[in-house]
Structure 1
Amino acid sequence: MSLSSHLPDILNHISIKENERATYLNHAQLLVNELMEDLQKKDELFRQAFNGMSLTGSYLDRVKLISPDEFDMHIKLKFPFQVTPERDYQRSGFVFLKVNGYSSHPAVVNGYVNRKALQQWLRQAFQAVFSWYTQLRIAGEIYKLKYELQGYGCAHTIVATSERRTISFDFVPAFEYTYNDWPLSAPPVSGQVRGSWPWFAVPQGKAPNDERTFMVCAPQWEREMMKDNYNLKNVLRLMKALRDNYKDEMQHLSSYMLKTVLLLELDKRTTQFWQQDMATILICMWSKLLAYLDGRNLPFFLAPGCNHFDRLKADEMAKIRSAVKHVDTQLKQCQNNCPRNRAIDLFLH
């Protein structure tokens, strides 16, 4: 049998079951609501700035695998003074957030929102909440809470554990803008999409030394571009499963890097290409990933001058490239003749 004939069963195995998704989503929403309410109680400046939450990452794209236990969320901030994005001409994909007028806000240094000062301010707000309590009762279950990472990268991570489940949240502060405020070159996104959905300026974990820098992102733009593209989302799920199956070798190959490969190919491929069987598309996209690794350059979708691989060390790149090459060979060998156990071993060790 062909590889393509086994992929529906593999997708069914790695996909989240809807009843499980509903429970996790309900509990996650209740936990987030409680945490955000308490942050506002403990920090008046946070109460003034809090402008809601925005889901991002694999959950937003509905490509999360196996268990719905990790949530990536933007904490949208709107300060009571104007914050204007300015292009950073030295670093592709980054902006400065200029404060118009004087402000004594703890996140502002010398007229700009300062990435480290912002994270320090939010860290103190979270710590104030966690000095108040370390557990919450949600939907009849007691969740013990732990504050991890604490914004020393880009995210403030909260892990909530009950007797039945563990749910983790990566909260990233974000400044929301419309396309009218877009300071970079025109993105490869339709006018309708970029006019209908916002973009964000967010801190980046491995950011430039300049503490004024924030990276642009637009998860809703990407979601809309991927919508109704036939097998595209299933191919991304399968690529993530391949990566997870070789997690020791590919631990530094992020889900967003895999997604970027597909986004970069959208305009280059016809509708007929995405209507082919999943195995054909998967093998093509995996080979494209290998080509980007060989070239040591994976352009950022919204800013081609920014290279995702710049954040990887040489040994990490070599390890990933070797594993991706191995999987590429395996996929091509079993495309037309693939026993079920060999297909399962590829995706589910």
Structure 2
Amino acid sequence: MVVQDGLTPRKDETRGKSSPPRLTPARQRQKVKQQPSEESSLVVEQSVSISPELASLIKRKAKDLKIRQTDRRWAAEVVNDFRENLLRFLRSCTDQPLFQSADFLTTGSYFEKVKIHSPDEFDMMLKLQVPNRLTMTELDGGLFYRIDLIRTTRTHIQAFLLENQRTLSSSKVLNETYRLVRKFLKNYKVPDECCRWEVNRKNPYCPAVTLSLCRTDKNSDELISVDVVPSLEVQGWPVPVRNGPDVENWLGKKVRQEIRGLPCYFVPKRLKGRNLSEDAKESWRISFSHIEKKMITSHGNKKTCCESNATKCCRKQCLKLLKSLIEGLKQRFPKELEDLCSYHGKTVFLHTLSSRFEDSMWACELLPSCFLQLVSALEDHARRGVLPHFFVPECNLFSPAIFPRRALAFLVNALEEQQREGLPLLKHPLPVARLRPETISAEVFTEDDDQSAAVSSAVMTQLVLLFAMVLFGLSFLIQSM
């Protein structure tokens, strides 16, 4: 599998927060499910007044978020080589037969073509084959599960069972992935000799083996980050998500049926909290990143939207802008908005696509108004404290258990300020250095460096003049003697 220039969570939902509790009672769940579509339809009917300056800023920012082709090609070369060689190593690794049949599934923002600034983050789901007959026991709101075999087995999966010989251990699978990746890196060399791969410290709540590509210099900055996420490919969805996402008006009934017919994946992510039960310590979280990729890449109500000779839309540009705004908010208020992540914006985006499904609503010339409506939708969800998971509506991503009320109120005020002040966070983008190691040191040259160079030049000039005067004085004294 090859990373192509035009293609993809990072971070996706595998890096999201723990699953929120259910929204109860049942009447409340129905009301919450219907409310976004009603409010979104009202937003569509309202005329949005946008100043020419703000419209120009949004369009210019959308262009600035594009990734440099030179960075894209270099990153693709490095990441492809790593992935292909790792897969070759796993298939020839006799000490762990389960991983010999593994394969990669590309997911995340880069392969959805909504990555912003730089191709510096990649997600790779390492698919592991498991028996078809499994029992998936829901642990928390429809996202976390305990996975058990219906029958005892003597297959390769046996090495990753708990003492009861039925329950699949998420910690054992993740630990073995760490071991194999470290073993692989001992003899692997990056195509660019100036770089090396490093395995990051393990995070108890992260389902991935995270690697950083750094220069061979000591204490160098990270150039690229890669998440290798072991996952179980399971045929048949668990009961809480069996109906599939609500995309009939947007993508059609056939696409919804196709989505429901796809396998689902479980990643080794444990629930957060103290005094966890044994089941919670060995929990698996269901992942929909492969379906999110399918929906975002084939996003049109009409099947030809954004194809080579078809009408273009601004959907992906709006998502990129929203991701940029969220990134800017987190950088400006790191403590207050610690719980905010790009997946919240992605969820709002998917809900908006499902309610504003006509391609004409996303025409390219409507980019400023479409983006502002997306920002307003995020603010509205935060104000109400309700953001249903797109695939598991009973899970509230703005639940107080995972998104504190104080942080939610701060987010509402920050979004109001941004809209009132004309989106100032989009006016002052942070400088993005090129990825290639040989160009980074030459391009990280700021205005402060210019001033320092000017001061140094002036000092050197004065020293030279002083030295010349001393020499002249000495020569005069020698002649007079």
Give the TM-score normalised by structure 2. 0.62
Q: Relative to 1, partners in 2 of residues 1:129 and 1:328: Cα closer, same or farther, differing over 3 Å? A: same
2:380 matched to 1:329?
A: no
Match of 1:119 in 2: 174
Deviations 1:215-271 (A, max 9, x none): 222223223333344222111100111122222324432111110011122222241
- Counterpart contact for 1:283–1:332, Cα < 8 Å: no
Deviations 1:18-46 (A, max 9, x none): 33212211210101222333345556325
Match of 1:338 in 2: none
**2:284 counterpart letter in structure 1:** F
Q: Relative to 1, partners in 2 of residues 1:126 and 1:304: Cα closer, same or farther, differing over 3 Å? A: same
Range with bigger deviation, 59-68 or 40-49? 40-49
Match of 2:292 in 1: 222
2:194 matched to 1:160?
A: no
**1:4 counterpart letter in structure 2:** A
Identical positions, percent = 20
Looking at structure 1, the residues matched to 203 and 86 of structure 2 have their Cα atoms a distance apart, in angstroms, of 16
What SS does the corresponding residue of 1:106 show, helix, strand or coil? helix
Match of 1:273 among 347, 361, 374: 361
Looking at structure 2, the residues matched to 166 and 64 of structure 1 have their Cα atoms a distance apart, in angstroms, of 15
Looking at structure 1, the residues matched to 79 and 344 of structure 2 have their Cα atoms a distance apart, in angstroms, of 26
**1:235 counterpart letter in structure 2:** C
- Counterpart contact for 1:120–1:151, Cα < 8 Å: no
Looking at structure 1, the residues matched to 414 and 260 of structure 2 have their Cα atoms a distance apart, in angstroms, of 42
Q: What is the deviation of 1:13?
A: 1.2
Deviations 1:277-315 (A, max 9, x none): 12222222212212222233322111111222356353x
Looking at structure 1, the residues matched to 413 and 369 of structure 2 have their Cα atoms a distance apart, in angstroms, of 17
Unaligned runs of 5+ in 2: 1-51, 248-254, 301-312, 432-481
Q: Relative to 1, partners in 2 of residues 1:3 and 1:207: Cα closer, same or farther, differing over 3 Å? A: same
Q: Relative to 1, partners in 2 of residues 1:52 and 1:11: Cα closer, same or farther, differing over 3 Å? A: same
Match of 2:231 among 174, 183, 189: 174
2:259 matched to 1:194?
A: yes
Range with bigger deviation, 38-47 or 262-271? 38-47
Match of 1:14 in 2: 65
Looking at structure 2, the residues matched to 255 and 99 of structure 1 have their Cα atoms a distance apart, in angstroms, of 35
Match of 2:115 in 1: 64
**2:325 counterpart letter in structure 1:** L
- Counterpart contact for 2:59–2:367, Cα < 8 Å: no
Deviations 1:131-171 (A, max 9, x none): x34x6131x43432211133632111111223698221111
Looking at structure 2, the residues matched to 304 and 262 of structure 1 have their Cα atoms a distance apart, in angstroms, of 15
Q: Relative to 1, partners in 2 of residues 1:64 and 1:270: Cα closer, same or farther, differing over 3 Å? A: closer
Match of 1:75 in 2: 126
Unaligned runs of 5+ in 1: 336-341
- Counterpart contact for 1:199–1:217, Cα < 8 Å: yes
Q: Relative to 1, partners in 2 of residues 1:91 and 1:192: Cα closer, same or farther, differing over 3 Å? A: closer
Q: Relative to 1, partners in 2 of residues 1:213 and 1:137: Cα closer, same or farther, differing over 3 Å? A: closer
Specify which structure has the higher proportion of strand. 1
What SS does the corresponding residue of 1:309 show, helix, strand or coil? coil
Looking at structure 1, the residues matched to 243 and 182 of structure 2 have their Cα atoms a distance apart, in angstroms, of 40
Match of 1:287 among 376, 388, 394: 376
- Counterpart contact for 2:351–2:390, Cα < 8 Å: yes
Match of 2:461 in 1: none
Match of 1:204 in 2: 269
Q: Relative to 1, partners in 2 of residues 1:12 and 1:95: Cα closer, same or farther, differing over 3 Å? A: same
Aligned length: 336
Deviations 1:36-67 (A, max 9, x none): 33345556325545421111111121111111
**1:221 counterpart letter in structure 2:** I
Which structure would you say has the larger Rg? 2
Range with bigger deviation, 218-227 or 109-118? 218-227
Match of 2:318 among 225, 235, 245: 235
What SS does the corresponding residue of 1:172 show, helix, strand or coil? strand
Match of 2:386 in 1: 297
